[in-house]
């Protein structure tokens, strides 16, 4: 963990001198002699150490009066892995800011979701990141605006509101302040844009290398719910439920980025859609740190060396995944898909998809709370588990989201009837995003353990897995990869 790395000046200087891209997003270099800030891997001439100061966020650099480097584009780096690795209030706040909560609900809404006062949230963010929630949200809006300016033919007013600005004036002022160029000048310098036909945008999602797409896209495709998800023409596609409407996304792996094609009914949902797609694909992970830890185990080393950079496939909707986890209890992948497809057909909201075969949004908890349990083709005990879950989600007594406190949410889930360790751990791993969640009772994990000579009983395997902390969720991916299950292979 590199929390507070920007305070280690000597380490930061060495990273800048070596142009080490592994540290992009962990800290930013502000150059006193030029007034710009860069990512550590910036290819420009390395500044003298006495001219470098280091900040933990792009927002802190901007707040200190520095503008973004036009060469290394520090605002386009993957997000800091810390916010997906940690469970403290700062990390949860950053996940909410990335999800657009400050733009939609303001700082009071952010604080309310976290259970703190606005003053406490502002103080903690300022102490950790050198910027408060408004400055952090502003930096995110500026980044989204630049991406839209340079990659689409949207008019500037549409860019401003899609990026989350409340007015064209504040959009113009922010772009000029952050990039030292007007929006028009940014567009003139960019390559010809593809345009945005019918609300569809084509974007590039960066990640830290290496990224192994096999288990990531293979898992999503193998477990895809008909009507909600599909694999088509080399891309994973699915529908999205968003704050202002719905959307359809297509995600395709490329050597240095993930190609993202988004169709939105309301462009104001762009920032949250991007955030959820990045979270789904675990794109802000630090694969080098993960693999270095797991490679130290001689049992895992051959699998890490063979296919490094495995990610944890996650979700765009935590409540949806919890429902699907219950549907998948003690049944095959195919049976779980069948159960989910029936719920979608009966209770999902219809959508149009001219480019493929997507037909519905996954049903909301409110829609599922009204279903007749007798209509569910599953054992009575599991019906009770599902109806209790959707009832709690619908009435708000159970909240699953990026702001969830992992230990507290685990405890609440374990209180529900029919929720045992496997269900809770798989929700923690794929919905809550806990990188250390572990599945010692999973059938595939136990088979892998026996094949590799690891302890196969849950208690003994959990004890053996202590050496893999805090990355046990990633160890799960490598253990699953020992089998020839479709989740481990990129579809053809």
Query: Which structural domains are found in the chain, ordered by start?
Result: 5-74 (3.40.10.10), 82-189 (1.10.10.60), 197-283 (3.30.310.20), 318-488 (1.10.340.30)
Residue 5 reports pLDDT greater than 70: no
> Could you tell me where the DSSP H helices lie in 258-331?
270-280, 287-295, 301-306, 318-327
Q: What is the mean pLDDT of residues 386-403?
A: 94
**pLDDT reported for residue 24:** 82
CB of 20 closer than 8 Å to CB of 41:
yes
- Residue 467: predicted pLDDT: 96
pLDDT in tens, 232-264: 999 999 999 999 999 999 999 999 999 999 999
Per the residue annotation, which of 12, 38, 61, 72 is the catalytic one?
38
Residues 6+ apart with CB under 8 A from 201: 148, 151, 152, 261, 262, 263, 264, 270
Is 292 catalytic? The answer is no
The reported pLDDT for the residue numbered 59 is 87
Report, as an integer, the average pLDDT of 39-48. Answer: 91
**Which is catalytic among the residues 75, 269, 284, 442?**
442
Whether this model's pTM surpasses 0.75: yes
Q: Output the pLDDT for position 1.
A: 38
- Looking up tokens 């000597």, which residue turns up? 10
H helix intervals, 199-286:
213-222, 270-280
- Which pLDDT score, from 0 to 100, does residue 192 have? 62
Bridge-based pairing of strands 36-38 and 67-68 is parallel
The total number of residues shown for the chain amounts to 492
Give the best-scoring range by mean pLDDT among 20-24, 315-319, 400-404: 315-319
442 among known catalytic residues? yes
Interval 145-152 mean pLDDT: 85
pLDDT digits (tens, 9 = 90+) for 79-137: 677 777 788 899 999 999 988 999 899 999 999 999 999 999 999 999 888 899 999 99
Share of the chain above pLDDT 90, in %: 67
Q: Which two tokens stand for residue 314?
A: 């996650």
Mean of the pLDDT values across residues 287-291?
93
């Amino acid at each position: 963990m590199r929390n507070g790395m920007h305070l280690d000046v000597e380490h930061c200087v060495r990273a800048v001198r070596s142009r080490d891209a592994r540290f992009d997003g962990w800290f930013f270099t502000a150059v006193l002699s030029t007034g710009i800030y860069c990512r550590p891997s910036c290819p420009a001439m390395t500044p003298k150490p006495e001219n470098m100061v280091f900040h933990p966020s792009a927002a802190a650099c901007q707040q200190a009066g520095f503008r973004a480097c036009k060469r290394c584009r520090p605002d386009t780096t993957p997000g800091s892995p810390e916010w997906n690795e940690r469970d403290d209030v700062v990390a949860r706040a950053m996940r909410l800011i990335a999800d657009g909560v400050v733009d939609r609900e303001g700082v009071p809404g952010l604080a309310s979701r976290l259970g703190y006062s606005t003053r406490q949230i502002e103080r903690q963010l300022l102490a950790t990141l050198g910027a408060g929630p408004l400055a952090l949200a502003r930096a995110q809006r500026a980044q989204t605006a630049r991406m839209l300016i340079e990659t689409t033919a949207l008019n500037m007013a549409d860019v401003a509101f899609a990026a989350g600005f409340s007015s064209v004036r504040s959009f113009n002022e922010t772009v000029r302040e952050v990039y030292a160029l007007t929006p028009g000048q940014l567009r003139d310098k960019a390559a010809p844009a593809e345009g945005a036909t019918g609300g569809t945008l084509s974007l590039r999602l960066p990640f830290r290398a290496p990224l192994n797409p096999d288990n990531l896209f293979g898992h999503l495709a193998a477990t895809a719910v008909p009507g909600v998800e599909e694999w088509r023409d080399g891309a994973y596609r699915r529908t999205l439920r968003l704050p202002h409407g719905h959307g359809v996304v297509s995600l395709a792996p490329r050597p240095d980025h993930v190609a993202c094609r988004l169709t939105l009914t309301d462009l104001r949902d762009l920032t949250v859609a991007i955030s959820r797609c990045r979270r789904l694909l675990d794109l802000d992970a630090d694969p080098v740190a993960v693999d270095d830890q797991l490679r130290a185990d001689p049992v895992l080393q051959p699998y890490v060396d063979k296919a490094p950079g495995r990610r944890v496939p996650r979700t765009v909707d935590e409540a949806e995944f919890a429902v699907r986890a219950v549907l998948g209890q003690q049944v095959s992948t195919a049976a779980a898909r069948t159960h989910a497809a029936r719920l979608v057909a009966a209770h999902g909201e219809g959508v149009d998809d001219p480019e493929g075969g997507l037909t519905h949004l996954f049903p909301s908890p409110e829609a599922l709370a009204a279903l007749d349990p007798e209509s569910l083709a599953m054992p009575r005990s599991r019906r009770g588990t599902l109806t209790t879950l959707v009832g709690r989600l619908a009435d708000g007594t159970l909240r699953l989201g990026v702001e969830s406190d992992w230990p507290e949410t685990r405890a609440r889930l374990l209180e529900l009837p029919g929720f045992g360790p496997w269900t809770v751990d798989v929700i923690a791993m794929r919905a809550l995003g806990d990188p250390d969640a572990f599945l010692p009772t999973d059938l595939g994990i136990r088979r892998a353990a026996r094949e590799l000579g690891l302890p196969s009983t849950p208690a003994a395997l959990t004890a053996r897995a202590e050496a893999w902390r805090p990355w046990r969720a990633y160890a799960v991916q490598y253990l699953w990869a020992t089998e020839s299950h479709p989740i481990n292979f990129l579809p053809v």
